[in-house]
A and B are shown apart, each in its own frame.
Chain A
Amino acid sequence: DAKTTQPTSMDCAEGRAANLPCNHSTISGNEYVYWYRQIHSQGPQYIIHGLKNNETNEMASLIITEDRKSSTLILPHATLRDTAVYYCIVSGTYKYIFGTGTRLKVLA
């Protein structure tokens, strides 16, 4: 079973920030939090990952709580092209266990 829990779906208005939560209450000390998205059955696209510090790159920001039991992926200015299924994955090895993800729909 996946080690993460995500809402099944979310809507976000175009131009607004999309905040996607992920619960990983059983995360171990050596496990990273990874985020990927999958647009219309294409291969999953890497977004960002982190261990315990908040991270930011050109695509998104990742906020990890101090106890590391949950995290939030932030897309600062969502566009229609951000409509996708977003997967939060916790792993300390090279293997991923995918959950069902959050289906984000960006509305015009």
Chain B
Amino acid sequence: SAVISQKPSRDICQRGTSLTIQCQVDSQVTMMFWYRQQPGQSLTLIATANQGSEATYESGFVIDKFPISRPNLTFSTLTVSNMSPEDSSIYLCSAWVRGERGDTDTQYFGPGTRLTVL
């Protein structure tokens, strides 16, 4: 298994400001992703965090709003820019961790960052 940590765990922010969320993985990582979970909803994939290059965004998500960095294999950040109340959600990072002893890779999730925008 893998341990994925996120900081901050929660925050309350004002409209128009930005928040950067950090994600750290303690294992060998192949892929990293960022998800959003709006209140009462399931998880939606925001983007793939690519090491050393621009993130790959899913339909409906753009770099100007959700800039992502991944400076090394096990660390990534997601920024929620120019926030509005509609951005109030839980933001989760995930990582595919290399399988041990011939096992297949497995995706693990961080604990999430609960964001409230006033």
- Point out residues on A near B: beta carbons under 8 Å: 32, 34, 36, 41-46, 49, 87, 94-101
- Point out residues on B near A: beta carbons under 8 Å: 1, 4, 30-31, 33, 37, 42-45, 48, 90, 92, 96, 104, 106-112, 114
Question: B45 → chain A, closest Cβ, in Å?
Answer: 6
Q: A87 to B109, alpha carbons, bound, how many Å? A: 13
Asked if A46 contacts B96 (CB within 8 A), the reply is no
Q: How many inter-chain residue pairs (CB < 8 Å) link A and B?
A: 46
Please tell me which one of the listed residues B30, B48, B109 contacts residue A44 in the complex, with CB atoms under 8 A apart: B109
Contacts of B30 in A (CB 8 A): 94
Contacts of B1 in A (CB 8 A): 46
Contacts of A49 in B (CB 8 A): 104, 106
Contacts of B44 in A (CB 8 A): 98
Please tell me which one of the listed residues B42, B45, B107, B108 contacts residue A101 in the complex, with CB atoms under 8 A apart: B42
